[in-house]
Structure 1
Amino acid sequence: MSKNKVIRRILTVMIIVVLGMFITIYISIQGLNKKIGSVEINNIDLYKVRDGEYSGDYSFKEIIASKVKVTVDNNKITNIDLIEHKYGLGKKAETIISRVIDSQSLNVDVVSGATASSKVILKSIENALTKEKVN
């Protein structure tokens, strides 16, 4: 067998392997997106939340996680500190914090292209506001 044929066969096998890996990754991501879509974010009645600081966290499949500290004053969210965010490709989801503060609600649109991270951050905020205050 000639050297060129051997090289072509090796390249063909490599291309097939790489293509297979990309297909597997794509299918995995689609499965994760479907599962994260089922995570329900419950809105919080801020009139039932006492003034103070609250911490909360949430993780999804140990791939995406966040920890927040939420400050409430006069029944309004005045600040949200993102203490930790394990995000993979979803760093841009961190902008959802300003949406929550501006709307004073967890009922906000997720950040396009960062749905999973957006939902994890929102769930962390929800979990914080349903716990006892830190101080």
Structure 2
Amino acid sequence: MKTINVSKLKKKRGLIIGILLMVLLASGVIWGERWFQLRQYRQEVAAIELTGVDLKTLEDGIYEGEKTITWISATARVTVENHRITGLEFSHQHDRGEAANVIPGQVMAFQTTQVDLVSGATNSSKVILQAIETALKSPPVAHISKEYQNEYQYEGPHRVEVEDRELELVRPPKSVAEEVVVRDFISSITFDFDEKYTLLADIEPHAISIENERKLALDEGRYMKAVTLYHVDTLSAKEYNEGLLANGACNDYYYDGVMDLVKDYQLVDFEVINVDYEQVLSDDTGGPQWGTGRYLRNFLVGHRENEDSWKIYDYAMPVNRSGQ
């Protein structure tokens, strides 16, 4: 007959009971924490007040805001021009509120934050709208000022000829920011690299670019021999922020990542300048990165706080239009 060890049986039973108690205790802690979070979540949602924003009181600029509650957060970057929302970038972290991602589009379409909440995602809708309102009720992180264009008159050359190089300006610039870009093209034709240092922001990539251009032109005979500037235009936020046109075609004026650059460089005033130009390279065609042809190219021109002069901070990749 098999002998039952009562002592071991009791220990085993006690161990099982202990494990069950620990599981129950852990479950209680988890459910208790979940209940507390749910209670806090409901209170945070109930506390959200959407009062609307009067766009007529806002100056042109870039506005940023965020809203975070339990389980949901949103950030918004809003561009305002002429008392209209012309750009709206946002991020939205959530559990089950993906349907609310249509809210920014509705705000853009109706030009108000007082839009209908999305059924099934009302709390996410409120958080996104609160982030947008918080942005628009905060000081702008960057201005888009057109005041400097008033009474502006271009006094520079419309045609430049130096040795075998020439530049023709078909339409003169209409603002200081546009003129900075024109002067940059002129300095490439005249080989005035010291002038380039006054036009480009004092950052390491620009210094490298200027010295590379100097070396190619003076030491290797590789340079832009002729350029025609057909248009030098200041783009609206809508033009440079949207990757696709209404018909689904690619937007040639799109400037990917430009708002991140504005923030990184801490620009308080900026413009995106687009140039439609045609260039002819020197006989040694191994020179500039882009060959002879016609192009569109965007330039980020702006200045930081306590700086008076406008400078070029970034060049976007050119769009080749030679085949059009």
What TM-score results when the alignment is normalised by the length of structure 1? 0.72
C-alpha spacing 1:47/1:35, structure 2 compared with 1 (3 Å): same
1:88 has 2:84 as partner: no
Question: Residues 1-135 of structure 1 correspond to what in structure 2 (within 5 A)?
Answer: 32=41, 36-61=45-70, 63-82=71-90, 84-135=91-142
Structure 2: distance between partners of 1:78 and 1:124: 17
Unaligned segments of structure 2, at least 5 residues: 1-33, 143-324
Higher relative strand content: 2
Shift of 1:99: 0.8
Shift of 1:34: 6.8
Structure 1: distance between partners of 2:106 and 2:121: 14
What TM-score results when the alignment is normalised by the length of structure 2? 0.32
Percent pairwise identity: 35
SS in 1 for 2:115: coil
Rg larger for: 2
The residue type paired with residue 129 of structure 1 is: L
Q: What do the CA deviations read for 1:66-120 (whole angstroms, capped 9, x no partner)?
A: 11100101000111101x3111100110101111111111111111111111100
Structure 2: distance between partners of 1:29 and 1:99: 29
Check whether the contact 1:33–1:116 (CA below 8 A) recurs between aligned residues. Answer: no
Q: How many residues align?
A: 114
Q: Over aligned residues, Cα RMSD in angstroms?
A: 2.5
Shift of 1:32: 4.1
Structure 2: distance between partners of 1:55 and 1:106: 15
Bigger relative CO (Cα 8 Å, ≥ 6 apart): 1
Moved over 2 A (4+): 28-35
